[in-house]
Amino acid sequence: MTKSILSTPPFTLQSSLLPSINFKEWMLERALQLQPDVFAKLLMILHGVWRNRNSTLWQNKTQTAQDLVLSCFTWLEEFHTVHASNNASKQMQQKVWKPAAQGRLTLNVDAAFLPNQHHGGIGGVLRDCQGRFIAAYARPIPYTASPKQCEMLAIREGLDLLQSLQQQNVLIQSDCSEAVAEIQCDDHSLLENGGLIDDIKQVWHQLEGIQLMHTPRSCNGVAHRLAAIGFELEHASVWLHHAPEFLRDVLHYDCNRLN
C-alpha cells in the first residue's frame, strides 16, 4: 500500500530503488524538491501509514490506500484550519496600541477622506510613555487630492504641534504605509507630493529625536476619531492637557489594554 501511494506523483518513489533505498536521504530530497504544502501532505501520509500499521497489528482493522489518503488530507485540512484560527487570534491580541519606550512621547496621526469629495479631515493625539494625554488636534482640509496626501498633511500638522509645544524625542505613528515610506524616501523630488514632503522634512529637521513609523489601523483608534471630528469641523481645534469628552472613551480603551 505504501509503495502504491508514494510511487505516484508528486512523491515519485521509484520501485526500482526498493528495498535498498536510503529512506532518510529520499526524505531529504523530497524536502528540498517539493513545495512546502506538498511535503506537508507527504508527512501526513507517512503518519497515516504508521497509524494504519498499528491498527492492523493490534485491532485487525486496515484502511484502503484511497481511504488512508483521504483521511490524511482531512486531518491536514483540519490542522491548518485550527492553526490559522489560533494565529489570527494571536495577531488580533498583539495589534493593540502601545506607547513608546520610557522617556519618549507618542504622536498618533490619521486622516479622513471620501473619494467623491474634495475635502478631508485630519487629527492627532500626543501621549506620554504611560499613555497619559498631553495634546490633540483636529482640523478640516478644504482641498485635498488623495487619502495619502491627507495623511501627509496630518503628519505635517503633528510636527507643527510638536514644534509649538517645544516637544522632542517623539515617535510619530501613522496607519498609511505609503505616506510613511514616501516621506522617508531619500529622493522624493519626482513624487506626486514632493513639495509637501519638502515641507515635512524642513520642520522635521528642526526637531530632535523624531521617528516616523507605520502602525496598524487597530492601534490608531484615537487619531481616527480625531480625523473624523476634523472632517466635520469648520475650523482647526487644539486641546492641551485635558482630553475632550468625546475622546475619553477611546483613550481609556487604549490604556486598559496596556495592563
In angstroms, rounded to a whole number, what is the distance separating the alpha carbons of residues 151 and 199? Answer: 14
Q: Is 186 exposed, middle or buried (0-12, 13-18, 19+ CB in 10 A)?
A: exposed
Q: How much is the pLDDT for 87?
A: 62
Question: Residue range 108-137: average pLDDT?
Answer: 92
Q: How much is the pLDDT for 42?
A: 81
Q: Which residues are paired to 173 by β-bridges? A: 108, 213
Q: Are 182 and 197 in contact (CB under 8 A)?
A: yes
Question: Residue range 179-189: average pLDDT?
Answer: 86
Q: Are 145 and 120 in contact (CB under 8 A)?
A: no
In angstroms, rounded to a whole number, what is the distance separating the alpha carbons of residues 178 and 105? Answer: 23
Domain residue extents for the chain: 2-94, 105-256
pLDDT in tens, 5-57: 666 656 666 555 555 667 777 777 777 777 888 888 888 888 888 888 888 88
Nearest 5 degrees, angle CA 138-CA 127-CA 165? 70
Give the pLDDT band (50/70/90) at residue 213: very high
Q: How much is the pLDDT for 206?
A: 94
In angstroms, rounded to a whole number, what is the distance separating the alpha carbons of residues 19 and 29? Answer: 18
Strand order in the sheet with 105-113: 210-214, 170-174, 105-113, 120-127, 133-141, 237-240
**Neighbour tally for 241: CB within 10 Å:** 7
Span 105-256 CATH architecture: 2-Layer Sandwich (3.30)
In angstroms, rounded to a whole number, what is the distance separating the alpha carbons of residues 228 and 104? Answer: 27
Question: Residue range 202-225: average pLDDT?
Answer: 94
- Cα 141 from chain centroid (whole Å): 28
Q: How much is the pLDDT for 118?
A: 79
